[in-house]
Structure 1
Amino acid sequence: MTGLVMVTKGGGCGGGAGAGGGKGGTRGTESRSEEEEQNQLSMVAVLLAAVRKSLVSCRIEEGEEHHHGIPSVHHMDIGWPTNVQHITHVTFDRFNGFLGLPVEFEVEIPCRVPSASASVFGVSAESMQCSYDSRGNSVPTILLLMQERLYTQGGLKAEGIFRINPENGQEEHVRDQLNRGIVPDNIDVHCLAGLIKAWFRELPSGVLDGLSPEEVLQCNTEEESVELVKQLKPTESALLNWAVNLMADVVQEEDSNKMNARNIAMVFAPNMTQMSDPLTALMHAVQVM
Structure 2
Amino acid sequence: MTGLVMVTKGGGCGGGVGVGGKGTKGTKGSELQDHQEQVQNQQLSMMAFVLTAIRKSLVACRIEDGGDDVIPTSSTLHNMDIGWPTNVQHITHVTFDRFNGFLGLPVEFEVEIPCRVPSASASVFGVSAESMQLSYDSKGNSVPTILLLMQDRLYSQGGLKAEGIFRINPENSQEEHVRDQLNRGIVPDDIDVHCLAGLIKAWFRELPSGVLDGLSPEQVLQCNTEEESAELVKQLKPTEAALLSWAVGLMADVVEEEDSNKMNARNIAMVFAPNMTQMSDPFDSIDACCTSDELAQNPNHENAARP
In structure 1, the residue matched to 2:183 is: 179
In 1, Cα distance between the equivalents of 2:272 and 2:286?
10
AA paired with 2:235? Q
Tell me how far 1:275 sits from its aligned partner: 2.1
- 8 Å CA contact 1:130, 1:141 repeated in 2: yes
| Per-residue deviation, residues 213-267 of structure 1 (Å, max 9, x unmatched) | 1111111211101110110000000000000000000000000000000000000
**Change beyond 3 A, Cα 1:278–1:222:** same
AA paired with 2:202? A
User: Which of residues 28, 51, 58 is equivalent to 1:71?
Assistant: 28
Tell me how far 1:283 sits from its aligned partner: 3.5
AA paired with 1:280? D
> Does 1:220 find its partner at 2:177?
no
**Change beyond 3 A, Cα 1:261–1:204:** same
- Structure number with the higher helix fraction is 1
How high is the TM-score relative to the length of structure 2?
0.58
Unpaired runs of 5+ residues, structure 2, are 1-11, 31-96, 103-118, 291-300
Unpaired runs of 5+ residues, structure 1, are 1-54, 74-108
In structure 1, the residue matched to 2:207 is: 203
- 8 Å CA contact 2:126, 2:203 repeated in 1: yes
Query: Could you say what the CA RMSD is over the residues aligned between the two structures, in angstroms?
Result: 2.9
AA paired with 2:255? V
In structure 2, the residue matched to 1:90 is: none
> Does 1:133 find its partner at 2:137?
yes
- 8 Å CA contact 1:251, 1:261 repeated in 2: yes
Q: How many residues align?
A: 194
In 1, Cα distance between the equivalents of 2:99 and 2:203?
23
How high is the TM-score relative to the length of structure 1?
0.61
- 8 Å CA contact 1:266, 1:282 repeated in 2: no
- Residue identity over aligned pairs, in percent, reads 78
**Change beyond 3 A, Cα 1:113–1:279:** farther
- 8 Å CA contact 1:113, 1:130 repeated in 2: no
AA paired with 1:146? M
**Change beyond 3 A, Cα 1:285–1:243:** farther
In 1, Cα distance between the equivalents of 2:29 and 2:121?
50
**Change beyond 3 A, Cα 1:284–1:245:** farther
> Does 1:144 find its partner at 2:101?
no
More displaced stretch, 147-156 vs 220-229: 220-229
In 2, Cα distance between the equivalents of 1:128 and 1:288?
35
